[in-house]
Structure 1
Amino acid sequence: MRYNYVNDSGFEEFDVAIKPLAKYEVAINLGRLHALSGKTVDQLMAFKRAFVDADSSDSAFNYALLLAYIQEDRLEDAQQLAESLLIKDTTDPWPLFVKAEWLRKQAQLQGQDRRALLEQAYYIYKHLLDEDRKNAALWYGLGMSASQLMVKPAVYARYFGQAYTINARYPAIINAYLDALHEAEDWPSLVAVIRPIIARSPDVNTRLMLKQYMDYAEKQMLN
């Protein structure tokens, strides 16, 4: 059973400086952020209107849009866009990242092929991490794949821990890491992670809930 300990309120939003940026850089950064903080298709389209020329051939933006479709479960839209982009195996890390997310989403819907799809996603994330060890989205995807493959919680807790070390402010990473530490029964680490979140959260109810959770973890340390 998974819990949502931290909501979106009070955490940093993506703040784009109003300055000229390459289309590719803007779209890639936005898309990677979406993987962590759940930007919607509507927000992506608004962003494109505000910052990116309305150019449907801009593949970098379309990869970000594809990722948004995938993560909103709009899989028919995603399939159509993927076909229009002719996505296939490639050495370009961005399409590979989208492919891994697609495989992981498909695994949630499949029965007999579920494990094979998750394993493909897992090895894509590992391959991409060989090139970019400081990408929180990749560590998060690797952790999600590992958790769905039912490996030991301590293993995917380590992956989520890497993502948290790189980017400790996004709710998706925080919640996944807390869940993993709980499942691994790593109470000291759980307390260490919760304490700074309580200190910086502006929401009273969130702080209270996390304080109760930290008290529970501290009691477990004494048992």
Structure 2
Amino acid sequence: MNEKPYLVGIVGGSGSGKSSFINALKASLPNEHITVVSQDNYYLPIDQQKKDENGWVNFDLPSSIDRQAFYNDLQKLMNGQSIEIHEYNFNNATSAPQVIKIEPTPIIIMEGLFVMHYTEIADLLDLKLYIEVDEEIKLARRINRDATERGYPEEEVRYQWEHHVLPSFQQYLLPYRSQAHLIINNNINFNKGLMVIKNHLKAQAKIMAGASIRA
């Protein structure tokens, strides 16, 4: 790629619907135009994670992520290089991860809780999106997701929510809400916000394709 890629940061609390929004966004553009780099695939090994006062591992801290690797891979993609990442398995953090190859594309989405907290990444973003959902709705979605996809009991989910998820959201994510270019409400659905961003990225892809041809 000759042109600098267009970087989009998408943040939102647990249960806000980031993954669903991004999947819908990806489906609106050809694969060669857009790629997603998820913060979730950069968790440090479980033996390097911090524990709370009751001995529970807290995965909701900025220090739980290999921040340098996350940034380094973004730099590689921006320089036109492909990257290989290890897909994190939430059901078994110690299992052998699947290797995923990601190719550079004109539009790169950086997704995760701390994308705007990590200033070295936030400073590079061309577009910052914040997905907003009421707390009780996020908690209900988290309980349902963790029970269905990960087999976590509700009591465990509520403990993590109260002691890890909510404090982290309030300290490391909510303060950056005012810096977002667009706040997308997803209490019911994100259709309006999705349409706006889809049209914007389609237009951006055309602009970048034209610039590439002229170059």
Could you say which structure has the higher helix fraction? 1
Q: TM-score range with shorter-chain normalisation?
A: under 0.3
Task: Provide the TM-score with structure 1 as the length reference.
Answer: 0.25
Normalized against structure 2, the TM-score is what? 0.26
